[in-house]
Amino acid sequence: MVDDNLEHDTLLVQVTFDLLDGTYVMVASNRQETFEGLRLYRYRLKAAGTPEMITVSSPAYDSWTMLPTFFSVDTASPANALWVLANFGEKESWGQKLMWLESGFNDIGFLDVALPERVMEDDTLRLKRRNVAPHVRYSVHGDTSVFSFACDSVFIYDDQQGRMDEVLHASRVRFTFARSEGLALWIDGRKRMIKKPA
């Protein structure tokens, strides 16, 4: 995360990330509020700090948050190909959009998962759903990308088999992506396919 490094007439920048290859990704929205809301913008700076836009993600629509976490695929050239988990939400997390960033942002699917946190509010113990991305661990097994969780438990919004809004031990849950199959949620070793967003 770095300080904003450009001024833009039409964009309101929320946060900026340096990909360490001469390009940046910013989370920004139009200064004049629109239905589409936030997007991710990858750009490089030309002379005199003028931005050259490389690619723009699909919008977050009514989310107040589109906070990205990046996972490098190639350690020799970290920014050549990246997995991006973008945390969506308002006051709490709605889950993570999974994107593949190479020449552009390619939407892969949605990880319906958050980090559960119990907090006292007005003498009542409440369950809050936080951004789980800092606890995600990325690995590769053959041609399959695996996203697991280094935390005690995870909140699952949709288990893809009819159960909604449940807290499970993190060791029971993982997501995988294989180009031949797409995105899948695994619970207790059983696979549930996830439809790619339209």
**What φ, ψ does residue 71 adopt, rounded to 5°?**
-125, 115
Pair type for strands 105-111 and 136-141: unpaired
Residues of the chain with pLDDT under 50: none
Residue 63 belongs to some domain of the structure: yes
Q: So what's the pLDDT on residue 107?
A: 95
Residue 32 belongs to some domain of the structure: yes
Picking from 120, 107, 111, 115, the residue whose alpha carbon sits closest to that of residue 132 is 115
Residue 31 belongs to some domain of the structure: yes
Residue 1 belongs to some domain of the structure: no
Residue 180 belongs to some domain of the structure: yes
Predicted TM-score (pTM) of the model is 0.89
Residue 3 belongs to some domain of the structure: no
Name the DSSP class of 49: G
SS3 133: helix
Q: Which residue has the tokens 């989370």?
A: 27
- Domain assignment of residue 117, given as a range: 11-193
Q: So what's the pLDDT on residue 133?
A: 97
Enumerate residues 6+ apart whose C-beta is below 8 A from 147: 85, 98, 111, 136, 137, 138, 174, 175, 176, 177
Residue 55 belongs to some domain of the structure: yes
Count of domains observed in the chain: 1
Q: What is the pLDDT of residues 137-182, one digit of tens each?
A: 999 999 999 999 999 999 999 999 999 999 999 999 999 999 999 9
Enumerate residues 6+ apart whose C-beta is below 8 A from 39: 27, 28, 29, 56, 57, 58, 59, 60, 66
Residue 5 belongs to some domain of the structure: no
